[in-house]
Amino acid sequence: MNATATLTVTRAELEDFLFLEAALLDAWRLDEWLGLFDRDARYLVPAAGAPDDADPTTTLFYIADDHHRLTERIKRLNKPTAHAEFPHSRCRRLVSNVRLLGGTDQAFRATSNYLTYRSKMGETQTYFGHHLYEMCKVDDQLLITKKTTFIDADDIRDQNKVSIIL
């Protein structure tokens, strides 16, 4: 590692990026959302209540996608045959407690809390938790290299399923 490597990303820049991410998801602009990810990125959602050190090789994960699988997930969610999400749910994502956890522009970590409301067919479901991000900055653009979304509830019986991107 280069001893002079630094992290130039500011919390405000990171917040703007995470607010954009939430807005793209709320608007079901999933292809644009996918563009926020590096080509080697991973998107992970461990089972509800999992600890921060959960590993998809040893623990149940609802989602453990590499970039290819995430691309295929987006294609499916955009089709009318994705019955759980067609017509699309109405969603609203709130992002808070954004923190940079250190690193360099080439590899840094960040976290945020989230609250996601999903409304469909007269029912509103609430998901809450936190995201852990591994990111990089390339040509002044932030990219996600790994996003792990933790559902902080101890189960999702009330929600019954996770058919949206959290």
CATH number at residue 147: 3.10.450.50
DSSP conformation class of 85: G
DSSP conformation class of 28: T
Provide the pLDDT for residue 165: 83
In-domain check, residue 16: yes
In-domain check, residue 4: no
Strands of 90-104's sheet, edge to edge?
61-66, 37-46, 141-151, 123-138, 107-120, 90-104
Q: Which amino acid is at 91?
A: C
In-domain check, residue 165: no
Cβ-proximal residues to 19 (8 Å cutoff; 6+ apart), any chain: 95
Provide the pLDDT for residue 90: 93
In-domain check, residue 141: yes
How many whole angstroms separate alpha carbon 77 and alpha carbon 34?
Answer: 12
Which positions of the chain have pLDDT values less than 70?
Answer: 1-4, 156-161
In-domain check, residue 15: yes
Provide the pLDDT for residue 160: 63
- For residue 23, give its domain range: 11-151
Provide the pLDDT for residue 44: 96
In-domain check, residue 142: yes
pTM to 2 decimal places = 0.91
Indicate the number of domains in the chain: 1
Provide the pLDDT for residue 86: 85
Provide the pLDDT for residue 157: 64
In-domain check, residue 63: yes
